[in-house]
């Protein structure tokens, strides 16, 4: 599983080796032309042998026939006693000089000025991405169905989400395409594993993921977009950094608590900047995402293959413009009927079977009277593990 294709995320193509110069290009063009001339000479020689050996012409007559088919400058060398293809003419050399200079000039103009980057690994990451990055998560239809079935069994209370992913991926898998699901917003109570679900999707499809908490004080939007150079805390955003570091164009970006995001962000100097909602809109909308400008690198990136998975506890505070660009999936949370299976999955290999059975009954009874979340189940398992380790009976 997890096969990949390739695509381009930057509007320029850097050379594989940054040390390429006009002289290097010239030498390669000359060598290439010599190879082409040798291949042509071999074909002409084969034609003459055919005329002599198969048709029965004399060598002179064969030369007269071939003479009319070759280029004028080739006649001087082909029909002498000297072996080998014609050497490069002065006119060839001059033409190669002009072409290599023009190619180098165009290549240099296309490349951005990255001299300000002190970290050479960052420069190489940009160049590598310009030559193409992976599209991960290419699976067959059968593999995709197995993945979704596994997610159903692991997190049955998230079946609405896994069913949505299955529908989107079924046709893509049939066509051998990479993992891509249009932007999703999971709306539901806290502690039910909304982010954890997409981390599992990331693992089983072989697509890298990164989480961004927009509810974090002040830094949520800058974690998403980055900050332009010139500021003391300038850095690239997590979306661009993930693409460059993992060399994958379709990572899963898990954006938590978008209902808690601020409408605007402020720098340390008090300057007001557009908030996380505005930033998300520019990265989600296909027209702007196709040439989204990273404020740190000053380069345009194609973000159209990025997978967006957002979470929220409420729709309050989320702009309509953002809601219109995402598919909202409402989740009811963990039901009492789900608790035994969740407890078994999380406690397997950690607790004795009889302890797991007791804990499942206890947590299921609690879930019938009040809401229960994954954190409560995990804490209960950890407490039971401590008691079991002390060899004390669990009553």
Specify whether 307 is located in the same domain as 235.
yes
Greatest extent of the chain over all pairs of C-alpha atoms, in Å: 109
97 plus 229 within the same structural domain: no
- Interatomic CA distance for residues 310 and 161, integer angstroms: 12
Q: Where residue 83 falls among pLDDT bands split at 50, 70, 90?
A: low
The pLDDT value given to residue 394: 46
3-class state of residue 128 by DSSP: helix
Q: Which of 38-47, 248-257, 297-306 has the lowest mean pLDDT?
A: 38-47
- For the cut 80, the answer to whether the pLDDT of residue 265 exceeds it is no
> Is the pLDDT reported for residue 44 higher than 50?
yes
Same structural domain for residues 227 and 320?
Answer: yes
Q: Residue 8: pLDDT above 50?
A: yes
- Same domain, yes or no, for 107 and 152? no
Assess whether pLDDT exceeds 70 at residue 312: yes
Is residue 153 located within the same domain as residue 179? yes
The verdict on residue 116 lying in a domain is no
CATH of the domain at 207: 3.40.50.300
Query: Would the pLDDT of 58 be above 70?
Result: yes
Domain hosting 91: range is 22-111
Contact criterion met (CB below 8 Å) for 58 and 51:
no
Q: 15: exposed, middle or buried (C-beta count within 10 Å: 0-12, 13-18, 19+)?
A: middle
User: Which is higher by pLDDT, 268 or 329?
Assistant: 329
Q: Tell me what the mean pLDDT of segment 3-7 comes to.
A: 83
Residues 175 and 159 in one domain: yes
What is the number of structural domains in the chain? 3
pLDDT the model gives residue 177? 93
**Who has greater pLDDT, 16 or 148?**
148
- Which pLDDT belongs to residue 72? 73
User: Which pLDDT tens digit goes with each residue over 370-390?
Assistant: 888 888 888 888 888 888 776
Residue at 121 is within a domain: no
Q: Residue 234 has what pLDDT? A: 81
Report residue 17: phi and psi, to 5°: -115, 115
Domain stop point among 60, 78, 111:
111
Query: pLDDT band for position 239 (50/70/90)?
Result: very high
Retrieve residue 28's tokens.
């390669």
Asked if residue 284 is part of any domain, the answer here is yes
Residue 63 and residue 142 share a domain: no
Q: Looking at the structure, do residues 343 and 308 belong to the same domain, yes or no? A: no
94-132 tens-digit pLDDT: 999 999 888 877 766 777 878 788 788 888 899 889 999
As a whole number, mean pLDDT of residues 263-290 equals: 77
pLDDT at res. 370 = 83
Q: Please determine, for residue 341, whether its predicted confidence score (pLDDT) is greater than 80.
A: yes
User: What pLDDT, in 10s, does the model give residues 346-377?
Assistant: 888 888 888 888 888 888 888 888 888 888 88
Same domain? 216 vs 154 = yes
Q: pTM of the predicted model, to two decimals?
A: 0.73
pLDDT in tens, 14-24: 877 666 677 88
* pLDDT tier at 395, thresholds 50, 70, 90: very low
9 in a structural domain: no
N- to C-terminal Cα distance for the chain?
45
Same domain flag for 46 and 181:
no
**Is 122 inside a domain boundary?**
no
pLDDT at residue number 259: 86
Boundary-marking domain end, from 285, 307, 330 = 330
| Cβ neighbour number for residue 392 with a 10 Å cutoff | 9
Task: Among 62, 82, 111, identify where a domain stops.
Answer: 111
With respect to residue 178, please indicate whether it lies within any of the assigned structural domains: yes
Q: Residue 216's pLDDT is what?
A: 64
- Mean pLDDT (whole number) for 57-74: 80
In a domain, 81, yes or no: yes
Q: CB-based contacts of 234: which residues, under 8 Å, 6+ apart?
A: 226, 227, 228, 296
Residue 332: partners with Cβ closer than 8 Å, 6 or more residues away: 157, 188
* pLDDT for 299: 93
Mean pLDDT, residues 74-99 taken together: 74
pLDDT for the residue numbered 86: 66
Arithmetic mean of pLDDT over the chain: 85
The pLDDT-based confidence of 89 (bands split at 50, 70, 90) is: confident
Of residues 4, 90, 86, the one with CA closest to residue 45: 86
Same domain assignment for residues 326 and 346: no
Same domain for 290 and 175: yes
| pLDDT tens digit sequence for 166-222 | 999 998 999 989 999 999 999 998 888 899 999 999 999 999 999 998 876 555 788
Question: What phi and psi, each to the nearest 5 degrees, are found at residue 92?
Answer: -65, -45
Q: How far apart are CA 319 and CA 146, in angstroms?
A: 37
Is 219 inside a domain boundary?
yes
């Amino acid at each position: 599983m997890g096969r990949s294709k390739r695509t381009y995320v930057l509007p320029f193509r850097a050379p594989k080796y940054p040390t390429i110069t006009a002289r290097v290009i010239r030498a390669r063009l000359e060598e290439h032309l010599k190879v082409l001339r040798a291949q042509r000479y071999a074909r002409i020689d084969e034609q003459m042998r055919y005329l002599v050996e198969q048709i029965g012409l004399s060598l002179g007559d064969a030369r007269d026939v071939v003479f009319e088919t070759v280029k004028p400058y080739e006649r001087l060398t082909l029909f002498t006693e000297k072996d080998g293809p014609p050497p490069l003419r002065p006119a060839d050399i001059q033409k190669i000089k002009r072409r290599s200079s023009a190619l180098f000039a165009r290549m240099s103009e296309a490349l951005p000025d990255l001299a300000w980057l002190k970290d050479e690994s960052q420069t190489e990451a940009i160049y590598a991405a310009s030559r193409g990055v992976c599209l991960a998560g290419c699976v067959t239809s059968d593999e995709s169905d197995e993945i979704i079935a596994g997610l159903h069994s692991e997190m049955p209370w998230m079946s609405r989400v896994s069913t949505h992913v299955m529908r989107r991926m079924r046709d893509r898998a049939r066509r051998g395409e990479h993992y891509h699901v249009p932007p999703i917003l999971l709306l539901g109570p806290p502690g039910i594993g909304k982010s954890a679900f997409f981390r599992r999707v990331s693992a089983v499809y072989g697509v890298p993921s990164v989480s961004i908490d927009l509810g974090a004080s002040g830094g949520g939007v800058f974690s998403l977009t980055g900050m332009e150079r010139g500021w003391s805390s300038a850095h690239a955003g997590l979306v661009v950094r993930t693409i460059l570091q993992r060399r994958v164009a379709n990572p899963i970006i898990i954006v938590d608590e978008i209902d808690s995001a601020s409408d605007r962000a402020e720098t340390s100097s008090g300057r007001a900047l557009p908030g996380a909602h505005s930033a998300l809109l520019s990265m989600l909308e296909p027209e702007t995402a196709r040439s989204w400008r990273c404020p740190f690198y000053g380069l345009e990136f194609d973000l159209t293959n990025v997978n967006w998975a957002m979470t929220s506890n409420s729709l309050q505070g989320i702009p309509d413009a953002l809601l219109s660009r995402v598919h909202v999936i409402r989740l009811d949370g963990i039901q009492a009927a789900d608790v035994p299976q969740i407890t078994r999955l999380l406690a397997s290999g950690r607790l004795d079977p009889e302890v797991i059975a007791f804990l499942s009954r206890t947590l299921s009874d609690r879930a019938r009277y009040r809401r229960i979340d994954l954190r409560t189940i995990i804490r209960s398992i950890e407490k039971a593990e401590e008691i079991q380790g002390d060899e004390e009976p669990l009553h």
